[in-house]
Structure 1
Amino acid sequence: MLLENNYYRIIDRHSDGMSAVYRIAFLPGCDVYRGHFPGRPVCPGVCNIGMIKECAMMLTGKRLWISTIKQCRLTAVATPAVCPEVDVAVSVSPTDGGFTVTATITDTEKTYMEYKGDMIV
Structure 2
Amino acid sequence: MLIKELYSIQSFTETDGMVQASVKLNRSHEVFKGHFPGNPIMPGVCTIQIVKELTEKALDKKLFLSVVSNVKFISIINPEKNETIQVVLNISEEEDAVKVKNTVSYEHTLALKLNATFKVLS
TM-score normalised by length of structure 1: 0.94
State the SS of the aligned residue for 2:61: coil
Q: CA deviation at 1:6?
A: 1.6
Structure 2 partner of 1:2:
2
- Secondary structure of 1:54's counterpart equals helix
Match of 1:11 in 2: 10
The percentage of aligned residue pairs carrying the same residue is 22
Matches within 5 A, 1:40-55: 40-55=39-54
TM superposition score normalised by structure 2: 0.93
Which ranges in structure 2 are unaligned for 5 or more consecutive residues? none
Where in structure 2 are the equivalents of 1:73-84 lying within 5 Å? Answer: 73-84=72-83
**Separation (CA, whole Å) in 2 of partners of 1:66 and 1:47:** 13
Residue 89 of structure 2 corresponds to residue 90 of structure 1:
yes
**1:17, distance to aligned residue in structure 2 (A):** 2.9
Provide, for residues 62-89 of structure 1, a one-character-per-residue CA deviation record: whole Å limited to 9, x for no partner. Answer: 0001000001100000010121101011
How far, CA to CA, are the matches of 1:38 and 1:71 in structure 2? 30
Structure 1 residue ranges (4+ consecutive) displaced by more than 3 angstroms after TM superposition: none
Aligned AA (1:39): G
**1:21-78 Cα distance to aligned partner (Å, 9 max, x none):** 1100010111110110111100000000000000110111100010000011000000
1:62 equivalent in structure 2: 61
Helix, strand or coil at the partner of 2:53: helix
User: Cα deviations across residues 88-111 of structure 1 (Å, max 9, x unaligned)?
Assistant: 111110123121011110122200
CA contact 1:19–1:59 (8 Å) conserved in 2 = no
- State the distance in 1 between where 2:40 and 2:63 align: 28
